[in-house]
Amino acid sequence: MLLLGEKVFRCFNEAIRLKDNNSKVWFENGKCAYNIASYISRIIKFGPVLENSRKEAMNQRRKQFLDQARVCFESANKFANADEIWMNYYFLGKIAERSNILQTLRYYELSKIHMLSTPAILSYRNNVNNKCFRAEIHYRIHACVLKYIYRHKTPPAKILSQIMLFLIRAEKSYYVAKFNPRDETDDEIMEDANETVTDLVTLVQDEILESDSEKLFTRIVQMCLEEFLHILEDYHQHYKSLYRIAHHYFLTKDYRFSQKVLTKSFQSPITSQGSTSDEESSTDSDYTFEGLFDLTVPSRLFPLQRTPSGILKRPGNYITHMLRSTQLLINVNKNLGDSEQLFKIATLLCKSTYQGYLLETDRINLGKQAMKHCLNIYERQIAKAKGNRNNLDKIKDDVRKICKKLIEYRIYKQQAQQFLEKHVECITID
C-alpha cells in the first residue's frame, strides 16, 4: 500500500510542478495522503500486534502523511472555487482533531459557513448530498468534542467555555430552515461569523464563562447527545450518530440503554443531567429512533445504508466503523450478561453475506468472541446453580440447545465441544 502511495505521489508532484495553481490536483493529492494516513491508523489499531519499534515507525509515517495532507488542503484553498473551499476546511478539521480541539472546531465552522454560502451545493438537484454534508459536518463537530472530553476527563474551564460557544453557534446554524444563497468573500464570511460570536458571548458570558469545569462538562455532553438525535431526525440512517450515542452510554455504564440504541427502537433519553430517564415518556421528544442493528431478521445483522455521497467516503472507513460497532454490540451484551443476544450475534456472524460490511477475518473473530462470552456466561451460571437442582436443570437444557446449534457451525465446533467436555458431568447432548 505504501509503495503504491509513493508512486501515486510522484505523479501528483509532477502534475503540481506543471501547474501549481490547480486546486483539484492539490485536493486529490491531500485526500490521497489523508486516506493513507487513515489506513495506517487502522492497521495500528485493528491489525496484527506490532513490535513497539515497528509501531513507532508506522506512527511517524502516519504523521508525515497527515502533514502532507494539511499542506495540500491549505494550498488548494489558495486557488479553489467557492464551491470547493468547504471540503478543504472539512479535511483540515479532521487532521486537526489529532492535536488541537479549538482549531478543529474553527475549521469545521469555516467548512459549514462556506458550504452554506455556495448556491451550487444548496440547489434542489443536490438536496440529498446537501443533507448528508450538513449532517456530516454537524456530526463531526460534536463527535470530536465528545472524544476530546473523554480523553482529557477534566479539561480546563476556559477551553470548555470556548467549546461551548462553538457548539451554540453550530446548533444555531443547523436549524436555519431556509437559506438564501449568495456569493460572499472570505472577509464577509468571517465578519458574519464574528458578529455571531459577539452576540453569543454577550448572551452567555455570565452563565458559561463563570461556570466550573464539572457543570460545563455535563452540559457539553448533553448538548452533543441532543445534536446527534437531531441529526437522526433529519437523516435517520446516520449510523455514526447512533454509534456515538450507544458508545456514550456504554462508557457511563448504562449498558441497558446502550443495548437499546444498538438493537431496538428508542426515544430521546436525555435529561437535564445528560443521563437516561426511567420514564421515557417524560422526555421532551416523542420521536422514535431505530437502532443500529436488527437482530430480529434471521438472515442479516446489518440493515444499514451507507453515506450517499462518495466525496465523504474513504476506502475501508465504513468497514472499520462496522467493526467497532459490532465490537461495541458484543461488549454491551457481555457486560449485561445477555447470553441469548450473544448467541444470536454469533450465529448471525456465521453467515458469509456481509461483504462490504466486515472483512472476512473480522467477521469470524467477532463471531468467536460473541460465542466465547456467551459460553462464559453459562459457565458462571452453572457454577452458581450447582447447589440448586431446579436452576441447574434449566441451565443444562439451555446449554444443550445452544451447543447443539453451535456444533453445526464449523468455526464454532471446536470451542463448543471443548465446553461440553469441560462440563461433561452435568451436560450431555443426545
**pLDDT attached to residue 315:** 58
C-alpha grid cell for residue 165? 460557544
Cα–Cα distance for residue pair 233/285, rounded to 1 Å = 11
Q: What is the pLDDT of residue 201?
A: 53
* Whole-prediction pTM: 0.84
Instruction: pLDDT tens for the chain, 430 residues: list them.
Output: 666 777 788 888 889 888 889 999 999 999 999 999 998 888 888 777 778 888 888 899 999 999 999 999 999 999 988 888 999 999 999 999 989 999 999 999 999 998 888 766 655 445 666 778 888 999 999 999 999 999 988 888 889 999 999 999 998 887 654 444 444 455 555 555 555 555 455 445 545 555 678 889 999 999 999 999 999 988 887 889 999 999 999 999 999 999 999 998 888 766 544 455 444 433 445 688 888 888 877 667 775 555 545 555 555 678 888 999 999 999 999 999 999 999 999 998 987 677 778 888 899 999 999 999 999 999 888 888 877 777 788 888 888 888 888 888 888 988 888 888 887 666 555 4
**Which residue, 212, 133, 207, is CA-closest to 165?**
207
pLDDT of residue 304: 53
Rounded-to-integer distance, Cα 97 and Cα 109, Å: 13
- Tell me how far apart the alpha carbons of residues 171 and 169 are, in angstroms, rounded to a whole number: 5
CA 287 – CA 271 distance, rounded (Å): 15
Return the SS3 of 267. strand
Grid coordinates belonging to 421: 467436555
Distance CA 258, CA 267 (A): 12
The β-bridge partners of 267 are 288
H helix and E strand count, the chain: 17, 2
> Quick one: pLDDT at residue 85?
93
Q: What CA–CA distance (Å, rounded) separates 34 from 63?
A: 10
